[in-house]
Chains A and B, each alone.
Chain A
Amino acid sequence: MTQTNVQKQSSSQTQPIKMDGKLLDVRDLRKYFPIRKGILGRLVGNVKAVDGVNFFIREGETLGLVGESGCGKTTTGRCILRAYDPTSGDIYFNDRNMGVVNVATLDKAHLKALRRNMQMIFQDPYGSLNPRWTLLQIVGEPLVVNGVAKGQELKDRVAELLRVVGLRPEYMVRYPHAFSGGQRQRIGIARALALNPQLVVCDEPVSALDVSIQAQTLNLLQDLQAQFHLTYLFVAHDLSVIEHISDRVAVMYVGKIVEMAETEDLFTHPQHPYTEALMSAVPKADPHYRSRRIVLEGEVADPANPPSGCYFHPRCRYAVDICKTQAPFLRELRPDHFVSCHRAQELKLVGVL
């Protein structure tokens, strides 16, 4: 992959972008959803679902994006695929054919080419498959649309894909209703892999599954990553799943990334009070660990009307005056450990044991 073929998509960006082994580099991404009122549709405010997000993913790694509902993690994932048009910001992607492109400003023709290399796996294995299509149609669609295969070649390729995700090739004549939740999730994975993508955005792929099926699916995703050299953006709310699958983890709170670090570093030495609270809130599967948790007061802030300063300050037990007035920035506290907290340096926070 060379960087000679840099496309100048963003007007503000005239310099070639250095990716340094990064596959994806997201800079100051924002996505606002307008709130309109009245018969004239007057703009009365914005839901700041994603509010200045910065992160990157290196080739072949898994970045876990974790946060509570409404924190903007799914919106972030969708902006990266341009399922949503971002309000502002840049999304640089090192495409295997086109070189480094800015997804945020790419035109339609280039987007189609881009999506061969960026795919998505959805949370709901029931809602994301067309019930009137057979597996051959569902899994084969990306191949047909992109003119990759047809006829017997298509069938062979679909059969191979089904085998790769652990389904029997004979199943390709069946419809999705004949499959269980875990099997449907495998179908969704087969479809995502059809074009041999570089980046797969996994949006809560295991949260609708039972524990035993969840383990199978996580193992499958890991095997496929090794086999096809995939890069994952893994969006989930479940910290134990995130810890299991991710090389690095980014924690989101109300549209912003509050902390990003290598997985073990983040879990053993969290630097943001929200990360600490989140980790202590997870019920541990060990009856001897009871009641050592930090219970956060109040609720997640409203992204349409966020608090002043640091968005987390009303619930933070370490908040001081500066937190109420000044918003902190995401900065690199130590190599590869980014945190957005005024007191990150002085606080001694507890990770998991």
Chain B
Amino acid sequence: MTTDDILVEVKDLKTYFMLHEGTVRAVDGATFSIRRGRTLGVVGESGCGKSVTSQSILRIVPPPGKIVSGQIIFHRNVKKDGGSVVEELIDLTTLDPDGEKIRRIRGKEISMIFQEPMTSFSPVHTIGEQIVEALLLHVTNDKKEARERAIDMLNRVGMPQPSRTIDRYPHQLSGGMRQRAMIAMALSCQPSLLIADEPTTALDVTTEAQILELMKKLQADMGMAIMYITHNLGVIAEMADEVVVMYLGKEVELADVASLFDAPKHPYTRALLRSIPRVGRKSRTRLESIEGMVPDPYSIPAGCPFHTRCKEVLPDICPVKEPPFVQVGPNQWTRCWLYAKGQ
């Protein structure tokens, strides 16, 4: 990976939740980069820390969660008076989460779409009011222009009759249409990064297909990077350029999408890929399931957190020492002792 097209660099990010029962290490050392105009897929089972990672970038981790260490470097393009574009580096972890600076980035340069659009829209405002609000906050002071831009954006996301739909309330729209409105709102300020947290999980397959195609088209048109969080490996294969696989707050594998699916390295990634039923594969065979279940977050196993369920566990080292993140291919890194024996 060259460094000049990097948009966000996450370095050894740790976000912990301090609870009475103990400390939950929701994200425990994540390192990856998001490149401009590309899609990073983040995949893992529930509780693996994929959503908290994205919340950390936007600095919206709900209390008592806290970023304890690490850096999130945002490469921001700033237009200087002369018209030249200068790259400015901001470490998002150092900003005040309620401060002016992050609020100018949040929603404008980095925006987010959620799994359930019904709960992320305000039910008492029309979708137009909600899109216009973002535009008035970040882009323009002219209400008429903001409304025109909102209509234009609704049109671009394929909303039928946008000049009428803009005055509808969220409950008047179907699930797919609501997700389109959500995307319109998120993209209205032309962000450089769109974080999509399971945006199609609540939708039907044919609607999901429409939304995935729409996001790809908008990315081609507008050039934003996408951080796509999902548990669905099919969607990852469809959307992502690079993929991060997470398990219990740890990044266990990072690779370009072809390497990940063709030659997965980490035993967890391999097991995950084998455990999904696939259309077109001979049916009525047994699925290879991963034994046991994800351990409880208060008692994460020592050493490699996956060793309790791993079929290729090395009994001498895996339960004792946490493996390093090692490079195993031109675009592939993994956190496993099978590939780091000498170290």
Contact = CB atoms under 8 A, between A and B. Distances in A.
Interface of A: 68-69, 180, 182-183, 210-216, 218-219, 222, 237, 239-241, 243-247, 263-264, 267, 277-290, 293, 295-296, 299-300, 352-353
A164 to B, nearest CB: 17
B277 A212 contact: no
User: What are the 4 tightest A-B residue pairs by CB atom distance, in nearest-first order?
Assistant: A283-B234, A244-B277, A215-B289, A352-B280
Interface residues of B, number: 45
B287 interface: yes
B139 interface: no
Given A240-B279, A300-B204, A222 B261 contact: no
B237 A283 contact: yes
Given A283-B237, A285-B278, A289-B237, A277 B289 contact: no
A68 B272 contact: no
A223 B67 CA distance: 45
Contacts of A295: 206, 209-210, 213
B286 A213 contact: no
A69 B234 contact: no
B268 to A, nearest CB: 9
Contact of A293 (B209, B273, B275): B209
A287 B205 contact: no
22 contacts: A180-B293, A210-B45, A212-B289, A215-B275, A215-B288, A215-B289, A216-B289, A222-B286, A239-B279, A243-B277, A244-B284, A247-B284, A278-B205, A281-B209, A282-B205, A283-B209, A285-B276, A287-B240, A287-B261, A295-B206, A299-B177, A300-B204
A247 B283 CA distance: 9
A279 B210 CA distance: 14
Nearest to B43: A211
Nearest to A294: B209
Given A215-B289, A299-B207, A287 B275 contact: no
Interface string B201-217: 00011111110110000
Given A240-B279, A299-B177, 15 more contacts: A69-B204, A180-B294, A210-B46, A210-B294, A212-B289, A212-B293, A222-B286, A245-B283, A281-B206, A282-B205, A285-B276, A289-B237, A293-B213, A352-B279, A352-B280
Contact of A285 (B234, B258, B286, B288): B234
Nearest to B176: A299
Q: Which of A183, A246, A293 has the most CB of B within 10 A?
A: A293
Interface string B277-316: 1111101101111100110000000000000000000000
B84 interface: no
Contacts of A246: 283
A65 to B, nearest CB: 15
B233 to A, nearest CB: 4
Nearest to A206: B277
Contacts of A283: 208-209, 212, 232, 234-235, 237-238
Nearest to A283: B234
B275 A267 contact: no
B208 A263 contact: no
Contact of A299 (B174, B258, B294): B174
